[in-house]
Amino acid sequence: MDKWVVVTGAGRGIGLAIARELKNAGYKVAGFSRSTDPAEGVFDYYDKLDVSDFEAVKNFASKIEGEVWAIVNNAGITKDALFARMTEEDFDKVIAVNLKGVFNVCKAFEAKLRKSKGVIVNITSISGLYGNVGQANYAASKSALIGFTYTLAKEYGRYGVRAVAVAPGLIETDMSAKIPEKIKEQMKSMIPLKRFGKVEEVAKLVRFLISEDASYITGTCIEVAGGFRF
Ligand SMILES: NC(=O)c1ccc[n+]([C@@H]2O[C@H](COP(=O)([O-])OP(=O)(O)OC[C@H]3O[C@@H](n4cnc5c(N)ncnc54)[C@H](O)[C@@H]3O)[C@@H](O)[C@H]2O)c1
C-alpha cells in the first residue's frame, strides 16, 4: 500500500502507538514530535518540530510526496492548575499546541486530503466533553477541537473527506503518569471498567476509523474511555 498517514506527537505514548499500528496495517507513516527521536522501524519519514509553528508544519507537509490518506492530530500537552491559579502563559501555550497546532496541520494537508478523499482524526479528550477540575485550558482546547472536527466534516463531506474526533479517557502514558497515585486510584474506582486504558486500545480505534470499514463515519466524536465520564 502506498498510502501515507501522518501522525503528530508521534514520539511516544498514544501517538507512537497509533504510528506503530498504522505501520503494521501497511501504511507509509510520517510523524513528528517536538523533541523525541523516532522509534525504530515505525516511520518512513520523521522530523522534530513544534506543531504550533505554522511554517515548520507547512515545510514538513511539503516533504511528503505521494498520496496522503489520513492525518492523525495527536500532539497535545497539559498545563494543569485550578483556574484561580492558572497563568495566562499556561492558557496560551495549551491553546497554541492543542488547538492552533491542529489548525496548522489541517491547513498544511487539506489540499492533499481533498485529492485522496482521505480522513482527519483529531485526538481530543473526555475532558473536552465533560470538563475536568484543574483543566480549564486543556478542556477548552479539546472542546474546541470537537467543534472544529464537526465543522470540517460538514465542509469537506462533499469532497469525500471524513473528519472524526476520538476522545480517550484515562490512558497509561507519560501524560497520565503526572497524576498523583492517590488520585489515580480514586479515578480507577470511578471507571466502569476499573482500569486505565492502553495506548493500543486507542490506536486500534484509529486504525478502524481511517479504514474503508468506517466509510460512513464522520462528524462525530467517539469515546475510548472504559465508560468513564469525570
Ligand atoms: N494519556 C491520556 O490519558 C490522554 C487522555 C485523553 C486524551 N489524551 C490526548 O492524547 C494525545 C496524546 O497524549 P499522550 O498521553 O500520548 O501524551 P504524551 O505526553 O505521552 O506524548 C505527547 C507527544 O506529543 C508530542 N508533543 C507535545 N507537544 C508538542 C508540540 N508542541 N509539537 C509537536 N509535538 C508535541 C510529544 O513530544 C510527545 O511525542 C494528546 O493530545 C492528549 O491530550 C491523552
pLDDT tens for the chain, residues 1 to 230: 699 999 999 999 999 999 999 999 999 999 999 999 999 999 999 999 999 999 999 999 999 999 999 999 999 999 999 999 999 999 999 999 999 999 999 999 999 999 999 999 999 999 999 999 999 999 999 999 999 999 999 999 999 999 999 999 999 998 888 889 999 999 999 999 999 999 999 999 999 999 999 999 999 999 999 999 98
Task: Please give the model's pTM, rounded to 2 decimal places.
Answer: 0.98
Question: Measured from the CA of 12, which atom of ligand 1 is nearest?
Answer: 39
* pLDDT the model gives residue 39: 95
- The catalytic position among 138, 156, 159, 216 is 138
Rounded to the nearest whole angstrom, what is the distance from the C-alpha of residue 58 to the centroid of ligand 1?
A: 20
Atom of ligand 1 nearest to the CA of 50: 32
Count the neighbouring beta carbons within 10 Å of the beta carbon of residue 194: 11
- Known active-site residue 46: no
Q: Whose CA is nearest to atom 13 of ligand 1?
A: 14
Q: What is the reported pLDDT for 175? A: 83
Q: Which of 119, 124, 135 is CA-nearest to residue 98? A: 124
Give the domains, in start order, of the chain with CATH numbers: 4-224 (3.40.50.720)
Determine which residue's CA is closest to atom 19 belonging to ligand 1. 175
492525518: which residue's cell?
71
Q: Are strands 162-168 and 119-123 parallel, antiparallel or unpaired?
A: parallel
Ligand 1 site: residues with CB under 6 angstroms? 9, 11-15, 33-36, 50-52, 74-77, 97, 123, 125, 168, 170-171, 173-176
Ligand 1: distance of its center to the CA of 158 in Å? 31
Q: How far is it, in rounded angstroms, from Cα 124 to Cα 113?
A: 20
The pLDDT score that the predictor gives to residue 1 is 62
In the sheet that holds 162-168, the strands lie side by side as 45-48, 28-33, 4-8, 68-73, 119-123, 162-168, 220-224
Q: Are 121 and 152 in contact (CB under 8 A)?
A: no
The pLDDT score that the predictor gives to residue 179 is: 86
Distance 97 CA to ligand 1 centre (A): 10
What is the atom index within ligand 1 of the atom nearest the CA of 196? Answer: 3
